[in-house]
């Protein structure tokens, strides 16, 4: 099995069943369960009643677990963004923005390289990411002169993610090792350029890729495209984790990974809309 380019999902063998030990009750990848039927949502082929009354941590992860925990994580991001948009005074905008940006990055790295997911830390990440997005989104909305651009970017993100999932399922997209390598290399290259641009900006050198001009539009479009490809890889890895009977707590890791990718997609779509509408 190939691994996702999302480092969050890479840290657990639950999302690469072919490279780790199978979890109790897991059906072999692509094979029916012990009763000759696939499990719910493609998971372990075990009768549902077998897990009734079992502690949450002892049962396998389901797609419902991932959906619920992703909704919770994104809900915290949105709530924190709303608070930072409306409640942070002008004098604290820059400190809160930088604290959210740097704090989310540091905690994101900790979560990405942790073998055991920490739900509380995921919530802290969501709060910090929300603070960064709230202030950043308000800045872009003020630059454009229309706060509804944020709503448009949110809707564009939801539609893009939904179409990506529908395409992945309807056309039965097969995530091959070659496709994975291409996305990994492109994502690492993109991240490298962002890092170099950040360092150059500290010395007063502007490249335009983080700006609101033609170069910024091109770079935002590339970022949005890479986010879509990463969503495909993440959908595939989550599906593998469900089939492998990953522990229920691993749904938090999947939720965090999806949140990272969706936030990345939203930010680039917001920049694209702003640049196209700006003057």
pLDDT of residue 273: 96
Residue 161 covered by a domain = yes
How far is residue 215's CA from residue 238's CA, in Å, rounded to a whole number? 34
Q: How many CB atoms lie within 10 A of CB 113?
A: 11
**With 90 as the cut, is the pLDDT of residue 204 above it?**
no
Residue 27 covered by a domain = no
Who has greater pLDDT, 15 or 122? 122
Residues 60-98 pLDDT 10s: 999 999 999 999 999 999 999 999 999 999 889 999 998
Residue 45 covered by a domain = no
Residue 143 covered by a domain = yes
pLDDT of residue 42: 34
Residues 99-149 pLDDT 10s: 998 899 899 989 988 888 899 999 999 999 999 999 999 999 999 999 999
Residue 246 covered by a domain = yes
Residue 224 covered by a domain = yes
Q: How many CB atoms lie within 10 A of CB 116?
A: 9
Whether residue 211 contacts residue 26, with contact meaning beta carbons closer than 8 Å, is answered with no
Residues whose CB falls within 8 Å of the CB of residue 15, separated by 6 or more in sequence, listed in order = 3, 4, 9, 237, 238, 240, 241, 244, 246, 250, 253, 254
- Show the domain range for 111: 60-277
> Percent of the chain, pLDDT > 90?
59
Residues whose CB falls within 8 Å of the CB of residue 149, separated by 6 or more in sequence, listed in order = 140, 141, 270, 273, 274, 277
Residue 220 covered by a domain = yes
Residue 100 covered by a domain = yes
Total structural domains within the chain: 1
């Amino acid at each position: 099995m190939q691994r996702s380019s999302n480092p969050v999902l890479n840290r657990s063998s639950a999302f690469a069943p072919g490279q780790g030990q199978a979890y109790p009750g897991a059906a072999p990848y692509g094979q029916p369960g012990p009763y000759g039927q696939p499990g719910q949502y493609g998971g372990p082929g075990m009768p549902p009643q077998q897990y009734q009354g079992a502690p949450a941590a002892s049962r396998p992860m389901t797609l419902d677990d991932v959906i619920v925990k992703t909704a919770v994580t994104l809900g915290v991001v949105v709530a924190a963004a709303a608070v930072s948009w409306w409640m942070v005074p002008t004098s604290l905008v820059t400190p809160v923005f930088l604290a959210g940006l740097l704090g989310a990055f540091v905690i994101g790295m900790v979560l990405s390289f942790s073998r055991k997911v920490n739900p509380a830390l995921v919530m802290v990440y969501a709060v910090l990411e929300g603070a960064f997005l709230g202030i950043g989104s308000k800045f872009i909305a003020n630059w454009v002169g229309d706060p509804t651009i944020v709503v448009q970017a949110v809707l564009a993100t939801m539609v893009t993610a939904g179409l990506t999932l529908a395409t992945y399922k309807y056309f039965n997209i097969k995530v091959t090792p070659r496709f994975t390598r291409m996305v990994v290399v492109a994502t690492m290259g993109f991240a490298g350029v962002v890092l170099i641009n950040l360092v150059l900006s500290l010395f007063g050198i502007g490249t335009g890729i983080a700006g609101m001009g033609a170069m910024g539009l091109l770079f935002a479009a590339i970022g949005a495209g890479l986010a879509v490809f990463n969503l495909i890889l993440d959908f595939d890895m989550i599906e593998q984790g469900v089939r492998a009977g990953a522990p229920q707590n691993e749904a938090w890791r999947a939720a965090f990974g999806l949140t990272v990718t969706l936030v990345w997609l939203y930010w680039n779509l917001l920049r694209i809309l702003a640049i196209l509408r700006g003057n």
